């Protein structure tokens, strides 16, 4: 059931996403290209196109992951899905940074600007990712410490024993931690590549905005993976806790479910949060493009 459901969901989301994404790509790039520096317009077109492909890669991960369920099992693949989608999207963004338009022509100008990761990483997104990573660690630690076995929670009273699963014990937490680390490494590599990619010397302000937008997109996908992973663990773990816990302790599960639901709503909204955008007015040329 899970295999079919996730494939259908992936395809159902992928087709309208691609239609909307390609339309948005042409609308966004055609409207401003006329008033924008040529080099900046080319870079922006590249970034918007790669961003659409990153979203498509994330959605395409759903049916691909579902195809692994016969070998790995549904209970292994499903908890890893958010971080795998995040890693896939960040991977496409990384390819986008590596294939960023390079200067062409026989005479090439630039400015000597030593730039670091701080030129790429928007502080708000960094704070969000750090906060969500800390939340995931707390959820992982709490799950691992309170689980009865690797994937279940149990409460014993004088008369009865309550056991429920799935519960984010070590059996879920260790692979999730590994997958999130992979997503984090891919995101870090993408940000490094964005730092070292070619400068748009004809519009340094526009270049700074596009660089920050690159970092924003990467961290947005990373934050999405972190939020969806924590939300999934809190929702499933909280439900299992509520089922197994005796009266008086079941409020912990209810609180986890509420927090998980809030996080899930936040995760669904995250891809729609805008990153840095270029100003509507064309900027003055800072270095003569020859």
Partner 1 sequence: MPVGLTIDLRSASPAYEQVRAQVGGHIRAGTLPAGTKLPVVRALAADLGVAVNTVARAYQELEREGLVTTRRRVGTIVCDVVPVVSDEVNTAVDDLVAVTRAAGLPLDTVLDLVRGRISTPR
Residue ranges that bind partner 1, judged by CB under 8 A: 100, 102-104, 106-115, 195-199, 201, 204, 286-288, 290
Q: Least Å distance between CB 118 and partner 1?
A: 13
Cα 86 to Cα 80: distance, rounded to the nearest angstrom: 10
Q: What is the DSSP letter of 164?
A: E
Toward partner 1, which CB reaches closer, 195 or 240?
A: 195
Phi, psi of 161 (to 5 degrees): -125, 125
Q: How far apart are CA 84 and CA 61, in angstroms?
A: 7
Q: Which of the 8 DSSP states describes residue 118?
A: G
3-class DSSP string for 16-70 = HHHHHHHHHHHHHHHHHHCCCCHHHHHHHHHHHHHHHHHHHHHHHHHHHHHHCHH
In the bound state with partner 1, the residue whose beta carbon lies nearer, of 112 and 279, is 112
**Pick 95 or 137: Cβ nearer partner 1:** 95
Neighbours of 141 (CB within 10 A): 11
φ/ψ (deg, to 5) at 163: -125, 135
CA distance 21 to 52: 5
Residue 1 or 114: which CB sits closer to partner 1?
114
Closer to partner 1 by Cβ: residue 31 or 108: 108
Nearest distance, CB of residue 32 and partner 1, angstroms: 24
- The H or E element containing residue 275 is none
Quote the least distance from Cβ 286 to partner 1, whole Å: 7
Report in angstroms how near the CB of residue 100 gets to partner 1 at its nearest.
8
Closest distance of CB 115 from partner 1, Å: 7
CB nearer partner 1, residue 4 or residue 107: 107
The C-alpha atoms of residue 214 and residue 94 are separated, in whole angstroms, by 10
Burial of 56 (0-12, 13-18, 19+ CB in 10 A): buried
Tell me how far, at minimum, the Cβ of 61 lies from partner 1, in Å: 30
Angle between helices 204-244 and 74-98 (to 10 degrees): 180
**Closest to partner 1 by CB, 104 or 157:** 104
The residue (of 211 and 220) whose beta carbon lies closer to partner 1 is 211
């Amino acid at each position: 059931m899970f295999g079919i459901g996730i494939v259908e969901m992936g395809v159902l989301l992928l087709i309208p996403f691609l239609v909307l994404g390609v339309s948005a790509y042409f609308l966004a790039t055609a409207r401003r290209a006329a008033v924008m520096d040529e080099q900046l317009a080319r870079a922006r077109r590249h970034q918007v196109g790669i961003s659409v492909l990153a979203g498509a890669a994330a959605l395409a991960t759903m049916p691909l992951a579902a195809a692994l369920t016969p070998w790995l099992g549904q209970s292994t693949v499903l908890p890893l899905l958010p971080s795998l989608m995040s890693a896939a999207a960040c991977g496409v963004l990384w390819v986008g940074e590596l294939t960023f338009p390079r200067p062409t022509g026989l005479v090439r100008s630039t400015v000597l600007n030593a730039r670091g990761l701080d030129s790429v990483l928007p502080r708000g997104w960094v704070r969000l990712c750090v906060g969500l990573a800390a939340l995931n660690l707390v959820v992982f630690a709490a799950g691992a410490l309170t689980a009865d076995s690797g994937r279940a929670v149990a409460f014993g009273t004088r008369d009865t024993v309550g056991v429920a699963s799935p519960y984010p014990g070590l059996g879920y937490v260790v692979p999730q931690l590994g997958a999130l680390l992979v997503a984090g490494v891919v995101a870090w590599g993408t940000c490094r590549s964005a730092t070292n990619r070619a400068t748009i010397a004809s519009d340094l302000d526009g270049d700074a905005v596009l660089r920050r937008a690159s970092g924003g997109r990467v961290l947005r996908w990373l934050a999405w993976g972190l939020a969806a992973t924590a939300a999934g663990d809190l929702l499933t773990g909280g439900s299992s806790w509520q089922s197994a816990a005796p009266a008086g302790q079941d409020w912990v599960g209810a609180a986890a479910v509420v927090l998980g639901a809030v996080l899930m709503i936040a995760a669904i909204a995250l891809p729609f949060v805008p990153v840095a955008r270029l100003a509507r007015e064309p900027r003055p040329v800072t270095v003569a493009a020859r």
